[in-house]
Amino acid sequence: MFSIKTKLSLLFFFISSLQLAGQSLNLEKIFTHADTLRGTLSKARTWWDVQQYKILIEPDFNNKTISGKVDIKFKATGIYDTMQIDLQAPMEINKVYLGEESLRYVRDENAYFIILSKPLQIGSENTLALSFSGKVTEAIRPPWDGGWIFSRDKNGNPWMSVACQGLGASVWYPCKDHQSDEPDKGALLRISTPDSLMGVGNGRLIGKHQYKPGWTVYDWEVKNPINNYNIVPYIGKYVRFGETYKGEKGNLDCEYWVLDYELEKAKLQFKQVPLMLKAFEHWFGPYPFYEDGFKLVQSPHLGMEHQSAVAYGNGFQNGYRGRDLSGSGWGLKWDFIIVHESGHEWYGNNITSKDLADMWLHEGFTNYSETLFTDYYYGKEAGNAYVQGTRKLIRNDAPIIAKYNVNDQGSGDMYYKGGNLVHFVRQLFDNDEKFRDAIREMNKKFYHQTVTSGEIEHFLSVKVNRNLRPLFDQYLRNTSIPTLEIQKSKKEIQYRWTDCLASFDAPVRVIIGKELKWIYPTTNWKTLKGNTNINSISVDKNFYVGYKEIE
């Protein structure tokens, strides 16, 4: 979903390896003034807290332009006389009002600085009204590049949407474009479309009306906090069907919006949605957005985790476009986009990283949701085989955690290496019920919150009763994979970690003969005595580590 959305295509990995070539060659990325404006929580951002976005959007399909209005309801939490609002060129803000007062503004790169005539009272709630228009950045290869999508369905009808994770919601509407500030009271998205088309958005349809002759406005409301990049319109020749899922918090309304000629395919393929919900509520706890319902919306791109309106473009087939990315065979048992993108409702949408640099919290845990889904329906060994199979897609080219405060994201390894890191942590629990309790509690403790990687790392350390910082430093902030080095003799085994940070310290299960045994290596040699007549020794494959025997 970004990469700007790193959305899980093998092709993406080749593309992103070019994007990150500077890092691979140990050349430091060069960040610009625009990157700092976008990624930093400056005074012009921190003194006010977004309460709600109200967005009216109208696209011009032929000219590839959009126009609209945004009301940003906000609360003053400090005193300052300037607000930073983000909108990326070539889009432009036309007018700004605070109440009835027209405000001055200046533009710096992709940031507008709104000048208040006087500071607002702390605790007061206010509405900033903005109008905007322009030729919007077009996504040519969504979701791997970001922007507005202008396409046509098989019958030639216009079909539009947005894919903008990483690139940011400010590519198409004015907002505080930083993941740390979600609108506490949700969003209202009003989509203006020709009468021949339908506008679908996040949350629930609360009304529609004629805007002008031949045009209809569809009003969609989200009551829960929502990431900026998740607020997305879909415009096309849609039809709807739905069902009620009886979940942990009661009845969950499930809706499916697909192109009219795809209805029968969708009815068959989307039978997997209740299966997904059952597995994920088992592992993660209740679906986080019962008030807004759950939707799959057919999209003119592969897919993305748009909260309560998940984008689906996998061609109504199992696997990832019909392929099993793990090579284990288990990835063809289920629809990759239904499982992966819906997993983001818990990791990415419920629990959101404050800074783009910590996006592994979204992608690593959601990647692991694929393993947990497989485990739930096909057994633990199937899940293990799936996650182990994904390791061939790991490149170890750059750290997973990127630089903070510049809207930077790390290696695409945040997916498969991130998932294997979560699998490593699961082994350290050495008890699947305790692991399940921990990740359910995680979704409860950080419910509808933005967090840092450090907070999650600390939470898991407490739950596993072990300092996991060396493990996270090794897998998130470095590129080498630890190697368990073994030296055998007739009476003892010596072992240590190599190819790792000096501080690396993590237990691992090994198989000695036919016996599974925990050992506790550090970077210094340790000795395991009393193991005579050893025919073989190996590392449990559930640990993503290297192994080497030395003479």
Whole-angstrom Cα distance, residue 242 to residue 245?
A: 10
pLDDT at 13: 37
Of 388 and 6, the structure prediction assigns the larger pLDDT to 388
Backbone φ and ψ for 131, nearest 5 degrees, come out as: -110, 150
Q: Find the largest Cα–Cα distance for the chain.
A: 89
Strand partners, 509: 518
pLDDT at 534: 66
pLDDT, mean of residues 169-175: 98
Strand partners, 60: 65
Domain 483-550 in CATH 1.10.1760? The answer is no
Question: How would you classify the pairing of strands 111-115 and 82-86?
Answer: antiparallel
pLDDT, mean of residues 100-125: 97
Q: What would the pLDDT profile of 257-283 be if each residue is shown by its tens digit?
A: 999 999 999 999 999 999 999 999 999
DSSP 404-448: TTTT----GGGTHHHHHHHHHHHHHHT-HHHHHHHHHHHHHHTTT
Q: Is the per-residue pLDDT at 530 higher than 80?
A: no
Q: Which long-range contacts (CB under 8 A, 24 or more apart) does 30-34 make?
A: 31/403, 31/406, 31/408, 33/108, 33/109, 34/109, 34/110, 34/111
pLDDT band at 249 (very low <50, low <70, confident <90, very high): very high
The end-to-end CA distance of the chain, in Å, is: 47
pLDDT, mean of residues 141-155: 94
Whole-angstrom Cα distance, residue 1 to residue 304?
A: 5
Question: How would you classify the pairing of strands 250-259 and 294-298?
Answer: parallel
For the chain, the average pLDDT equals 94
Q: Is the per-residue pLDDT at 11 higher than 50?
A: no
pLDDT, mean of residues 43-50: 98
Q: What would the pLDDT profile of 429-473 be if each residue is shown by its tens digit?
A: 999 999 999 999 999 999 999 999 999 999 999 999 999 999 999
Q: Is the per-residue pLDDT at 4 higher than 80?
A: no
pLDDT band at 489 (very low <50, low <70, confident <90, very high): confident
pLDDT at 8: 39
pLDDT at 488: 85
**Ranges for all domains in the chain classified under CATH 2.60.40.1730:** 42-318
Cβ(366)–Cβ(414) below 8 Å: no
User: What is the percentage of the chain residues whose pLDDT exceeds 90?
Assistant: 89
> Tokens 């032929």, residue?
62
pLDDT at 18: 35
pLDDT at 3: 42
> Tokens 């040519």, residue?
140
pLDDT at 536: 81
Question: How would you classify the pairing of strands 187-194 and 48-60?
Answer: parallel
pLDDT band at 19 (very low <50, low <70, confident <90, very high): very low
Whole-angstrom Cα distance, residue 541 to residue 520?
A: 17
Architecture of domain 42-318: Sandwich (2.60)
Question: How would you classify the pairing of strands 508-512 and 537-539?
Answer: antiparallel
Exposure b/e, 214-249, CB count within 10 A at least 16 = b: eebbbbbbbbbbbbbbbbbbbbbbbeeeeeebebee
Ranges 195-209, 377-391, 524-538: which has the least confidence? 524-538
Whole-angstrom Cα distance, residue 50 to residue 344?
A: 23
User: What is the percentage of the chain residues whose pLDDT exceeds 70?
Assistant: 94
Exposure b/e, 405-438, CB count within 10 A at least 16 = b: bbbbbbbbbbbbbbbbbbbbbbbbbeeeeebbeb
pLDDT, mean of residues 78-96: 98
pLDDT, mean of residues 31-57: 98
Cβ(138)–Cβ(167) below 8 Å: no
Ranges 104-118, 396-410, 457-471, 480-494: which has the least confidence? 480-494
Q: What would the pLDDT profile of 401-413 be if each residue is shown by its tens digit?
A: 999 999 999 999 9
pTM over 0.85: yes
pLDDT band at 164 (very low <50, low <70, confident <90, very high): very high
Q: Is the per-residue pLDDT at 25 higher than 50?
A: no
pLDDT, mean of residues 29-40: 96
Cβ(71)–Cβ(56) below 8 Å: no
pLDDT band at 513 (very low <50, low <70, confident <90, very high): confident
Q: Is the per-residue pLDDT at 531 higher than 80?
A: no
pLDDT at 528: 86
Q: What would the pLDDT profile of 305-364 be if each residue is shown by its tens digit?
A: 999 999 999 999 999 999 999 999 999 999 999 999 999 999 999 999 999 999 999 999
